[in-house]
Amino acid sequence: MTTTHAFKMQLKPGVVDEYKARHDAIWPELADLLRESGISDYSIFLDEDTLSLFAVLKLADANKRDALPDHPVMRKWWDHMAPLMLVEPGNKPREWSLKPMFHLA
């Protein structure tokens, strides 16, 4: 069983193309880590007017998402992406949860 998790993040001005390029070349070890952590069907969308990123992913019931901040590959990715985004201390992207309002299956 999976649940859907949605959240938004925020890009800094002038970095849209670089953000896209870095995700187009996502590190295989990061993609593997996300899958092994119970994350699948992960998409990120951009609102070009506000530079807000909207992410939607599926979480397996037995996911290990909460352990990701301690993993060296995740930390390295966050450091790699920090110049492009609003981040928390430690370079974790600032994340705002989104409330489900409608779903058509």
| Tokens linked to 52 | 């807000």
- Apex 80 CA angle, 78 and 83, nearest 5: 95
For the annotated catalytic residues, the residue numbers are 23
In sequence order, what are the residues at sequence separation of 6 or more whose Cβ sits closer than 8 angstroms to the Cβ of residue 10?
51, 52, 53, 85, 86, 94
Element (H, E) at 17: helix 16-24
| Tokens linked to 8 | 């938004």
Q: Which of 100, 98, 87 is nearest to 54 (CA)?
A: 98
